[in-house]
Structures are given as C-alpha cells and as structure tokens.
Structure 1
Amino acid sequence: MANSCTQTPTLQSNSTKMNRFMDKLMAKIFCFYDEQSLIDVTFKFTNSTAVIPAHRLILAAASPYFENLFNGEQGNRPVIEINDIGSDIFERLIAFCYTGQTLITVNNVGAMVKAAMVLQLDDAITICVDYLMSHIDEYTLQGAYTLERETQCEFLKQKIFEYETQNFMKISQSNEFLNFDVEKMQRLLESDNLNIAREKDAYDAIKRWFNFDVPARQEQLPLLITCLRLIQFDADFLLTHIHPLPGCELLTFKALLWCCKPEARTKINLRFTEPRGISGTNCDDKTILALCSSINPKLLQYNKAEDKWQEYASIKYKYRWYETVLKDDDLLFIGGNKKGESVNIVSSWNIRNKTWKNLPAMNQARDEHCVVELDGKIYAIGGSEGNNTLSSVERYTTSEGWKFVNSLIIGRFQASAVSLNSKIYIIGGYNVDIYQKSIECYNPDSNTWTSCAKMTGFHTDPITAAHKGHIYVLSNKDNNCLVERYNPQQDTWSKICSLEVSGDLLASVSLGNKLWAIGGISAGKICVSVYDEENDQWRQKCSLPQIDFYSCLVVPEALLASK
C-alpha cells in the first residue's frame, strides 16, 4: 500500500521541474486515451450503438460523480450503461476530463450544461456558461432563462444576473421583463451595479412592470419603490410621481424630509441614501487612501487631477501593528497589539458612512502579520504573538467566519504578501531573529504552500505590489531603495532601477497602470514616486504632507465622493 502523502513532495520545491514533470505526465495520459491503451472501463448508451472507452482513475479524479460511480455496486463492471446523456455529449465531456477542453457550439451548449451538471464537472459548467453568455444573442436570453429554470444552475443564474444589470435598459424593454417575479425585480433594483444613466430609468422600468398586471402587483409596488435611490429625485418628482403610487405616501414623506432637513437624517429610515455606482466592484476610477499614524489614524485622499493630498477623515482606533484590507465598501482592521498584547479582533470601518462594526474575531491573536484578499476571501498570514513567531494561516468568509488553512512552510513576521493570478505570495520577513529571503506561494485549490526562488537582494521590511503580472519588492538600504521584480511564470528575479530616497519605504501600489512607491524621504518630505517602465526610472509626484505615515490602499474614487 502506498504511503500517505502528509508532506509536500520534494519535487514541488522547484516549480520549473514540477511543471516539466506534469507536462510529461499529462502528455502520456493523452497518448493512452488516444490509443485506447490500458482502458479499464467502457460506456454504452441505451439508444445508441456508440461505445466510449476510458480510464477509471482519470474520470474519478476529474469528477465526484465518477468517483462515487466506480465505488458503487456497478463500479467494477467492465461496461457501464448511461441512460440520461447522449453519446456525443458524453464523449465531449469525457475528453474534457483528460484535456480540460471541449468543443462547444450554440446548438449543443444547453445539453452540455445539463450533462456537466449530472457528471459534476464544475469546470466544464463554467466554460459552457461563459460560452453561452458570450453568444447570448445567438442562444437568446429566453433560452438562457429556460435553461436556468431546468437546471437550477447557480453559476448560470449569477451570470444571467450580471448580464441583466449590465444591460438593464435593454432588458427592461423586453417581454421577458414583464414576467419577472417580484424577488427578481427587487434583486436587480437593489444592485449598486445597475447600469442606468439616471435613477428615473429604474423608476420607468418599475412602472412598466407594474402596469402589466396592476391588480396582482399593487401590494408589491412599495417594496420595489424602496429600492430606488429616492433622494436622487427632486421634491417635484417625488410629489408628482412617487406620492400618488399606492402605498408610497410615507416613502415620499421620508425622502422629502431627508432632503429638506439634514439635521433629522439620523431619525429617518431610508434603505438607500447614496447614489448607485458607489460599490468598489463597480468603479474603474481609483485613487490612493493613506493612513497617517497607527493609533487614531488620519486618512488622506490623493487627488489625481490636482496632484495633491487632502484630508478625508479621522479614525479613532486604539491599536497598533494591525493590518488593513479593503472589502467592498469597508476598511477592515485585522489583529494588532495593545499595551504589548497581541489581539485577534477584527473591526470594519465603512468608508461611505464612517461607522464601525465588529466582525468575528480570528482564531489566533497576531500582530506584524500579513493580510490579503483573494477571490472575496480574506487571509491572515503568520505574524507574531508575544515572543512566538507564527506560521498559522486563517481565512475569513462571511458564511463561515475564520477557518484555519494549511500553515506556512516557515513561520514569519514583518513579511509582505500579495495576491496574483489566483494565488498568494508571502515574501521575506523574520523567523525569530533570522531574516528570510525565501518566498512561499499558496494555492487555494490544493490548500498547499510551495517554495519559490529566493530574492537576490537583502530586503528588510519588504514592501510589495502586484503589477502587470509581476511582483515588485522594494526596501531601503544605505539611503537607496532597492527594487527587484519577480516573474511567477518563470520563477525568476530581475533587478530594476533603484529609488533614491532615504528612510523607510512605506507602501507600494498599482494604480492607473503604473507602479507607485510611497515613502522614503527626500528634501525632508515623504516621497511619492511613479515608475517609468519604458525608461527604467522613477518620477516624483506630490509628496505626502505628514511624516507619520503608516500604510495605504487603492480605493474607488466613488467611495470617497460622498464626503
């Protein structure tokens, strides 16, 4: 019996060798499939003479459907009959199990989605749905609605919703729109991403839907009107159009009072008091928000148009050595230290409303750690607790809270971390008092950390940023900021132009297709520099007005527009 694989294979320490090994392995598997060599199972079909040979191990690894099938009563039979999928579609999906690719057409994509769901091939479902939505004009939206009802495919439902919000003006004029149920209408109208030029467009869509069946929809109308950003309308529109609607008199009064009596707003209960388009996922125009000071930080906003910094807000926060990350409209403060004690608290500060709320605490108290966001999940990595260097890593989701994932290969604090290409990279830092030049890469799909090529330079307190598919590492040494760049595809490092500043560099971000370096002192001021990639040189921007700079992050400008 093979030994249990409880440790990371030695081969993974060199990603280039690992890639070569996997390429050779997959090439041989493809040959076995093409030549029908070492076949150990054959599928036949009720209404077809076709037979499809395959390898149990490959299919079981690709899909839990096949794993359960082969472990069941008929799993050992050399020939297995398939009743609910046509032979042509089944053969295409078997090929997908080997290659990760398959031939999709407008004519077969519906059947492919249905079969992929039966066979529990999630990646095939994703590819098929993406194809369908990119060919929606040929497949038709009505066909997509029908397929979603028949399959109850959540990914298709999500993609249809994204299409509806992006194409709302077109959708609202269709016949299908008139038959939307109230739950679907509510979900669309609540969205900050609804693609409309003005709030009246959403109102007009509600009226069209309502007038299609007034008796049945009269009680539901106020629910949809509450989804409008009512304070975007002037008093005349509210009185002329909203007030006469059945059940909307009180809503009109609240909206009018909000607009006319700002001092009373804290007592007025309105669902939406900001314009659409505030959500971070809905805005391409971004800027830098800098935290000055660790305890009770002041927030400074960078004004790109005027190349200057201006105060945005002051925050009362009593901890230090915490980490921050942007999650939707909230700035999350994670971990930290108070009076020499590490803490596990997590607090959320809403950038629009400037209000606090508490989130579930981490399982591990930690400071001087790393925090990154990847695919909507927040990761807290390493750090220290008292005199202990931590290797533990935990992940936060709104549904499950904080859960431990696999630990780092080497525990470290004062490291730096970034997410890139659906993976997380942690760089440098200290283990006890030993500086680490090593890098580790986390793959959430396999829940594993692997070692990457070490940095060539000596970077204490490294600052990192993911930019144009590379990872940049910056740190100060002898009044000169060293910069090197990591290529994750080739697992190699290269040096670029140094940044001539003294003192510690404090942050680096990717903004406007440029790499920005913030921190370091020149002529007594905190520098802000932008990397000119074409000429391999740094150019100075407006300096920061405060010397006690702590960290910074990139945020949508629309988040700050409500100040």
Structure 2
Amino acid sequence: MATSCIQRPALQSDSSALNRFMEKLMAKIFRFYDEQSLIDVTFKVSNPTALVPAHRLILAAASPYFENIFNSDQGNNPIIEINDVDSDIFERLTTFCYTGQALITVNNVGAMLKAAILLQLDDAITRCVEYLMANISEYTLHDAYMLERETRCQLLKQKFIDYETRNFMEISQSDEFLNFDVERFKYILESDNLNITREEDAFDAINRWFNYDVPAREEQLPLLIACLRLTQFDADFLLRRIRPLPGCELLAFKAFSWISKPEARTNINMRFTEPRGVSAANCGEKTLLALCCVETWTNSKLLQYNKTEDKLQEYASINFNYQFHRTILKDDNILFTGGENKDDETTSNIVRSWNIRNKTWQYLPAMKQARNSHSVVELNGKIYAIGGFDGEKLLSSVERYTTSDGWEFVSSLNVGRYGASTVALNGKIYVIGGVKDYFSLLKSVECYNPDSNTWTSCANMREYKHSPGVAAHKGHIYVVGCFPANGTVERYDPQRNTWSQICSLNVGQSITSCVSLENKLWAIFSSGNKISVSVYDEENDRWEQKCASPGTNVISCFVVPVALLTSIE
C-alpha cells in the first residue's frame, strides 16, 4: 500500500524539517479553507439555516463523528444535514478542525461543549472545559453544575472535583453542595489536598450535607466520617461530636484508642492516621513571598507579606552566587535556574532547589543549555526554561524538565530573546517582550502549544517591554512595567487575541513582579530604596497601595499558603 512507503523515520530524525513541512502543509490547508477551494462537502445546518462548506479529509481526521458519517451511505451526498447543532456553533467547530482554535465566550461555552461532545472533538472539549474553569466566577456555579449534569462530561466532572477540592470552604456553603451525591463528596473528602484550615471544617461540611436530608443519608454518613482524619481531633470532640452520629460509634472508638493508647496502634485498623498534607498546592489562607535584592543578586532577602499588619517582613536570607538567574515555585520549593556566576562571569546551567519550610538547598539535574536572563514557567507539572543568553549569543532554544525524563529540548522560539517574561494560561505558555539584541526591545508575544509542540505569534503589545511583571488573572494576562521607564499596564485577551490598556502604576524604572491572589491582581515593585505592594481595584480601574519595606530590586514573587511558612525568626 502507498502508506507503507511514507518515510516517517527520516522526517522524525530532523524535527526542524518536520516542523517546516507541517507548517507549509497547514498553511496550504488554511488557504484552501479560507478561499473555499477544493470543497467536497457542504453541511446544511439549522437555527438559523446556513450552508457550511468543508473538506471531508480534514473533518474525518479531526473527528470520528465525521469519519463515520462519510463512511456511511449518507456520506456520499454532496449536502449533509445537521439538525442537532446551531449553525454558528457548528461553523466555529468546523473552523476548529482546521486551526485548533475557536472563539469561546461565557455566553456560548455551554453550547460549544455540548456540540463538541456530539461531534466527538476531544481537543475542542478540552478547550471548552479549560475556558469554563478559568471563567467559573462569571459563569456561576449553578449553571456550571447544570451543564455537567446535562453533558455527563467526565473531563468537566474531574475539573470540578479539583476545583471543589481547592475551593472547599466556598463550595461547601453553596446550595449546589447540598445535592452532591455521596460518591463525589467522599472522593473530595479523601483528598490529601483538601483546602481546609482545620479538620473541623470538613466535619462541619458533612453535618450540613447530612442535615439537608437525614432519612436518605443516614446510612451514608459513616462512609463520609471515615474519610476524616479522625486522629487529628481530641478525645472530647470524638466522644461528644462523632460517637453520637448514626453508625459512627466504632469509628470514634478506634480514633479514641489510637490517640490514648499508642502502644495498641498496630492492632487498630484505620484508613487515615496522618494529617492532610500542607504544600503550595493546598492551603488555607495564602500570602505573598517576594524575593528581593539587598545590594547584589547574590545577597537576597525573602520577604513575607503579613496581612494582619499590612507589612512586608523578612522570612529568610538566601545567598546564591549567581546573578540574572530565574526562579519558579514548584510545590514547596523555589527553583533557582541558571544565571551568571558573580566570580568568573560564566553562564551556568545549574538548577538548585530551596525548600521554603526547611530553608535547605538541594541540587536538581542541570539544564542542557547554560542560560541567564531567560524565562521559566510551569505547565501541567513540567518546568520550561525558555530563551535567554548563554554569555556569547542570544538563545531561542527551549527545554522542559520532568522528574521522570529530566531536561529535554522542545521546539525553539520563533524569535530568540532574553529578558522576556512568561506565563501559563489555558494549557498554553505565553512569552512576552524581551530583547533580541543589546538595543532592540520587543513588543512581540509567542504562544506555545504543548500538544502540537509549536510556537505561534500572537498580537503585539502596544509598547515594548523588557523584564515586565506578568500574571494570569481571571482568564487574562496582565503585563506591568518594567523597562522602558514607565508603569503602563496592558491586558491581553487570549480569546480575542487583543491587547488593551488599564490604569498605569507609578513604578518608574523598576523591576516589577505581579501575581493573582485572593481574586485580585497584586503588583510588587521597587520604588527608590523600598519594595512596594499595590492591588488593582478592577471596578474603579485604579491601584491601591498596600505597604512598603526597605529593599531594592524585586527578583520574583510567589503565592504560598501561610501554613507552609515557619515562624519568622
């Protein structure tokens, strides 16, 4: 057969050649679609009635639904009727088959998801679910749960469960929570990452759910109580609050024995005996950690924001003999990657991990490429090191780290750059601004899709930016500062691929970092010999200053659970 002669190994041995081939091929296909050239099928879609032309091969390759239609008797017809999808939604998803992109909005995401499920477009389903979760506050929980029930989408269900685990205190007070089925509630309670400040919070939620329909839930109650970390309660709580519950007397007795008789623990069968984990992924209250220079990059302070007193105070001193390195938060650790050695000015590929709780160092596998002034970002549990400078030349290379495979190269940037900033949003990576030589600042933006291992250009920012602060917040990307010397703030809408400007921040020429915390955008920046904190008031389009503390340059900023931090010495 002809397909057996395709030289896949030869193409795969040269990834750049394969990428060029695929880019040329897809560009040609896009042109055929735009010009409606070589069309071999037309769909007649209702509400309102519309004709949507397409190519059988492309649609069949994108979806088993279309493949089955074209292989059936109906598939030989030049015009095929589609009655279960509105014409606008169908046309958007047809375009998705060609481009992998579709304009999803809060108003159409429900219809898009239902249609994507019907048309068996797995990638479109993923995009819809990701968009919905990123904009859940605008969509409302009631509508989101109704959509989950209507679609029975397993991906959406799992994302909701993850969301419920992270936002348990809020969810457990909602009306929708009262209708959780016992299996869903049990799965959430079992999680070691359940976002509660104390075990009593989970117990109170069980009580609220149980009291909503006592007769129907009496037999299910022990299943949920068994998911609690019962050994974290004191004896009085176990005897007074747990033991009287229907079917829970034995559970209370086992936990009481575990606490009061340590020597007998080997004979006591309990599901959970350890407290829930505390990490940067689960938490109670969260706060800021700002890594700042005192005099040089090698003499740095880690400042913790104290919400009660509204001030920054020193959490730890960190000495790292490199400048122009880049940092990222990974679980309970801050990873320091690359940089220029202060002693001999050589660029390094080393990676070291500093544990926030224990304040100890550990070496990780070194990057394949020495880098300074590069970008680092985490996406789907993987760390990406992007671009930068190797001491002699500008870099466009990109490498990715996983604990199983170490560092490995992925597709390079279209435009090599250093001093860029990077953020992950909706399953993609965005590289923003930077410098392409010593004098040429960039306003260009590139987006990386890990599914296709490709970089594509996005709309340019309005202004050139070097080392700006960036953050993903409420489904948008915000860019603040840094060079040139102004405090303009731009906002990127990934659905529309457009930039807009919001209220400027009075930061001058200073290194700036920004993060999303407590559903607000925070900016941490240098102002003279101080480190200042401001919060964006979205409703009134203005910045409100919080506090300031002695310091010079902000290297990076992280959002961490307060419970992760040891007491300030």
- Give the TM-score band, short-chain normalised: 0.5 to 0.7
Match of 2:163 in 1: 162
Over 3 Å counting, the alpha-carbon distance change for 1:158 and 1:416 in structure 2 is: closer
Match of 1:324 in 2: 327
* Pairwise CA RMSD: 6.1
Match of 2:14 in 1: none
| Mapped contact 1:482–1:499 kept (Cα < 8 A) | yes
Aligned equivalents of 1:552, 1:163: Cα separation in 2 = 29
Task: Please list, as runs of the form range in 1=range in 2, the aligned pairs for 1:121-140 lying within 5 A after superposition.
Answer: 121-122=124-125, 126=129
Aligned equivalents of 1:128, 1:487: Cα separation in 2 = 17
Aligned equivalents of 2:55, 2:317: Cα separation in 1 = 59
Match of 2:556 in 1: 552
CA deviation after TM superposition for structure 1 residue 242, in Å: 6.2
Match of 1:444 in 2: 448
CA deviation after TM superposition for structure 1 residue 369, in Å: 1.5
Over 3 Å counting, the alpha-carbon distance change for 1:359 and 1:440 in structure 2 is: farther
Over 3 Å counting, the alpha-carbon distance change for 1:204 and 1:373 in structure 2 is: same
Letter in 2 for 1:236: D
SS in 2 for 1:270: coil
Over 3 Å counting, the alpha-carbon distance change for 1:160 and 1:465 in structure 2 is: closer
2:414 maps to 1:409 = yes
Task: Please list, as runs of the form range in 1=range in 2, the aligned pairs for 1:100-179 lying within 5 A after superposition.
Answer: 100=102, 112=115, 114-117=117-120, 121-122=124-125, 126=129, 144=148, 148=152, 153-159=154-160, 162=163, 165=168, 167-168=171-172, 173-174=178-179, 177-178=181-182
Aligned equivalents of 2:535, 2:353: Cα separation in 1 = 32
Over 3 Å counting, the alpha-carbon distance change for 1:310 and 1:188 in structure 2 is: same
| Mapped contact 2:433–2:445 kept (Cα < 8 A) | no
Aligned equivalents of 1:87, 1:538: Cα separation in 2 = 50
2:394 maps to 1:384 = no
Per the normalisation by structure 2, the TM-score is: 0.62
Per the normalisation by structure 1, the TM-score is: 0.63
Query: Could you give the per-residue CA deviations for residues 343-367 of structure 1, whole angstroms, max 9, x where no partner exists?
Result: 4444444545656666665443323
Over 3 Å counting, the alpha-carbon distance change for 1:280 and 1:453 in structure 2 is: same
Aligned equivalents of 1:533, 1:183: Cα separation in 2 = 38
| Mapped contact 1:74–1:80 kept (Cα < 8 A) | no
Match of 1:60 in 2: 58
CA deviation after TM superposition for structure 1 residue 69, in Å: 2.6
Aligned equivalents of 2:23, 2:555: Cα separation in 1 = 37
Match of 1:95 in 2: 91
CA deviation after TM superposition for structure 1 residue 553, in Å: 0.6
- Residue number among 419, 425, 433 corresponding to 2:431 in the alignment: 425
SS in 1 for 2:418: coil
Over 3 Å counting, the alpha-carbon distance change for 1:519 and 1:157 in structure 2 is: closer
Over 3 Å counting, the alpha-carbon distance change for 1:506 and 1:183 in structure 2 is: same
SS in 2 for 1:55: strand
Match of 2:337 in 1: 334
Aligned equivalents of 2:109, 2:413: Cα separation in 1 = 45
Identity, in percent, stands at 25
Letter in 1 for 2:457: T
CA deviation after TM superposition for structure 1 residue 41, in Å: 2.3
Aligned equivalents of 1:105, 1:8: Cα separation in 2 = 31
Instruction: Return 5+ residue gaps in structure 2 as ranges.
Output: 1-16, 96-101, 263-271
CA deviation after TM superposition for structure 1 residue 393, in Å: 1.6
CA deviation after TM superposition for structure 1 residue 556, in Å: 4.8
CA deviation after TM superposition for structure 1 residue 301, in Å: 1.5
Over 3 Å counting, the alpha-carbon distance change for 1:253 and 1:345 in structure 2 is: farther
Aligned equivalents of 1:135, 1:515: Cα separation in 2 = 24
Match of 1:225 in 2: 228
SS in 2 for 1:390: strand
Match of 1:393 in 2: 398
Task: Please list, as runs of the form range in 1=range in 2, the aligned pairs for 1:17-416 lying within 5 A after superposition.
Answer: 40-41=40-41, 54-57=52-55, 60=58, 64-65=62-63, 69=67, 78-79=76-77, 87-89=82-84, 94-98=90-94, 100=102, 112=115, 114-117=117-120, 121-122=124-125, 126=129, 144=148, 148=152, 153-159=154-160, 162=163, 165=168, 167-168=171-172, 173-174=178-179, 177-178=181-182, 180=183, 184=187, 186-187=189-190, 190-192=193-195, 198-202=201-205, 204=207, 224-226=227-229, 231=232, 233-238=233-238, 240=240, 246=250, 270-272=274-276, 286-292=287-293, 294-295=297-298, 297-315=300-318, 320-327=323-330, 329-336=332-339, 340=344, 342-352=347-357, 361-373=366-378, 378-396=383-401, 402-416=407-421
Aligned equivalents of 2:480, 2:192: Cα separation in 1 = 41
Aligned equivalents of 2:340, 2:252: Cα separation in 1 = 50
CA deviation after TM superposition for structure 1 residue 317, in Å: 5.3
SS in 2 for 1:198: helix
Over 3 Å counting, the alpha-carbon distance change for 1:213 and 1:316 in structure 2 is: farther
| Mapped contact 2:532–2:548 kept (Cα < 8 A) | yes
CA deviation after TM superposition for structure 1 residue 391, in Å: 1.5
Aligned equivalents of 1:356, 1:80: Cα separation in 2 = 67
Aligned equivalents of 1:73, 1:7: Cα separation in 2 = 29
CA deviation after TM superposition for structure 1 residue 287, in Å: 3.5
Match of 1:473 in 2: 481
Task: Please list, as runs of the form range in 1=range in 2, the aligned pairs for 1:437-516 lying within 5 A after superposition.
Answer: 437-445=441-449, 447-450=454-457, 462-465=467-470, 470-475=478-483, 481-484=485-488, 505-509=510-514, 516=523
Over 3 Å counting, the alpha-carbon distance change for 1:306 and 1:62 in structure 2 is: farther
Aligned equivalents of 1:185, 1:484: Cα separation in 2 = 42
| Mapped contact 2:299–2:319 kept (Cα < 8 A) | yes
| Mapped contact 1:511–1:554 kept (Cα < 8 A) | no
| Mapped contact 1:290–1:301 kept (Cα < 8 A) | no
CA deviation after TM superposition for structure 1 residue 392, in Å: 0.8
Match of 1:263 in 2: none
Over 3 Å counting, the alpha-carbon distance change for 1:342 and 1:241 in structure 2 is: farther
Over 3 Å counting, the alpha-carbon distance change for 1:123 and 1:415 in structure 2 is: closer
| Mapped contact 1:96–1:124 kept (Cα < 8 A) | no
- After TM superposition, the structure 1 stretch with the greater mean CA deviation from structure 2, 125-134 or 304-313, is 125-134
Aligned equivalents of 2:326, 2:544: Cα separation in 1 = 28
Over 3 Å counting, the alpha-carbon distance change for 1:492 and 1:78 in structure 2 is: same
Match of 1:519 in 2: 526
Over 3 Å counting, the alpha-carbon distance change for 1:94 and 1:455 in structure 2 is: closer
